Structure 1
Amino acid sequence: MASDPRARQAAGSPGDAYVPKTLATRHSDADRDHALERYIGTVLRRSRNAQELTIADVGQLADLSASMVSKIENGQVATSLDALARLCGALGLTLSQLFRDYDSPEGGAQLVKAGEGLEVVRRGTRRGHTYHLLTDHRGHQRNFEPFLISMDDESEAFPTFQHEGMQFIYLLQGRIDYRHGKHVYQLEEGDALTFDASVPHGPERLRALPIRFLAVTVFDEKA
């Protein structure tokens, strides 16, 4: 005689347990897929912001519509490998750089080996200035931004950068006159300067080349 379905449910038979387990597995797979899309979007957005590019700028460089770039950055669509490669090319990323932290544990450390920092070109940067971003902060909030900046004999003075946050610079090599607002500071190796980055600032005179300095911008909670 067939057993009562309600009795099987009350007893928690293996046959009844299989259905919710399958649904849970499907939800788990979907969550992992969305996690990958969100991760890709976050890395691309942070790389774009670090280079002070707009969504339209990246779309033009990657031959994608601005709306598609926006959807990718927000993890709303699955990205084809071709589109991903074009976006990486537009942002100066390699695919290995894009995915290098995907499996990193939450709260884990991030190592950037010498010479492997993402090279970016910032608006207002003059020739001979090389920016290497030393971390790709993956949190929900961009709270700091460290760069290694190199200037060679083709570099031009450009003392009118302006952006949010407080900035700390530490001169590693060379000598430079660095302007902040109405004041000019003569920096030698080992000197440090901290200032409000919303005030116009930047290299006023390159006194001894090559010049290398660490520049860290710290943003407030609203940045």
Structure 2
Amino acid sequence: MPESVAPPALGLRDRKRIETRHRIAEAARSLALENDIDHTTIEQVAARADISPRTFFNYFESKEDAVLGHTELDLSPEALDAHLAAVAGEPAAQAVVDLAFLVFGETFGDERERLARKELIVRFPQLMRRQVSRMTTVAEAMTGAVRTVLERDPAWGPDAATAQAAEMLLGMVMTALRSAARHEGTDPDEVRNRVVALMRDTAARIAAG
């Protein structure tokens, strides 16, 4: 098995953005639970998070998005291009795992976050539409990025890098990351290495079969 390579590290700017995003989400959730989501305003959320209303919109498009608390980093083409540059040259499976770390900021395995979001959707069913919309946006952006990873990998190439292949690989990675985070602890390097090893072993067994 090839030697493990250290994953691309999140920069200080990205870490600060994640911290601020978490703070805004916590403020939005607590206010929604206290006052009901319909009586919660962006101004109230901004005040509790100790930011300006203008800054709020640098992180979330609406108060509903803030209550849901999605913590992915910027998914703009420019940001994804930077992430893809950071994982260039890595084998496909490893590159996709590292891409997930870069985009989700190591929050993929946060079971508490997932359960909190689920409970909020049960209490405020109007959030479901926003949740589905966000999930669709993230899935499309990530699938496109994974296709680029596959196109650049000699083992795949443009012909094999179909949308279906990208979706399958991304699904495997995200499922494995969440599972590893639950069962193997929360240390990012440990989780990442476990997942990369698991995917290599799985691929080898499938090929042998």
TM interval, short-chain normalised: under 0.3
Structure with higher RCO (Cα < 8 A, 6+ apart)? 2
TM-score of the superposition, structure 2-length normalised?
0.24
Compute the TM-score of the two structures, normalised by the length of structure 1: 0.23
Structure with greater strand percent: 1
* Richer in helix (by share): 2
Mark the structure with the bigger radius of gyration.
1
